Amino acid sequence: MTNRHGLHARPCAVLIRTLQPFACEIKIECGEATANGNSILGVMSLAAGFGSKLTFTISGSKATGAMAAVQQLFETQFEKAYTPENKGSSGMAVSAQTGNPGTKK
């Protein structure tokens, strides 16, 4: 892992989004830990910091394309994770509530 920030939330989200179009089974290894490459929580649980060695095992009909996409992310040090459209947003909807739900007024 050559990205000085490691594989934290934003790069993980970009990795997952990048791999979504490929119908493949993806396993990522970091040290003794293995994660499902289709699961953001699984990938984040690897806690892959700067200098970590990651091994991707991709199988399926679109494995070659998926591996090329992964290679591109690493070659660019996940620059997509730091573009304005990805900063400050995980791409997930957030619901805000106001007031105390258990209190009557």
| 8 counts as catalytic | yes
Bridge partners (DSSP) of residue 58 are 26
Q: What is the DSSP string of 5-72?
A: T-S-HHHHHHHHHHHTTS--EEEEEETTEEEETT-HHHHHHT---TT--EEEEEESTTHHHHHHHHHH
Residue among 5, 6, 8, 44 flagged as catalytic: 8
- CB count, 10 Å around CB of 105? 4
The catalytic residue positions are: 8
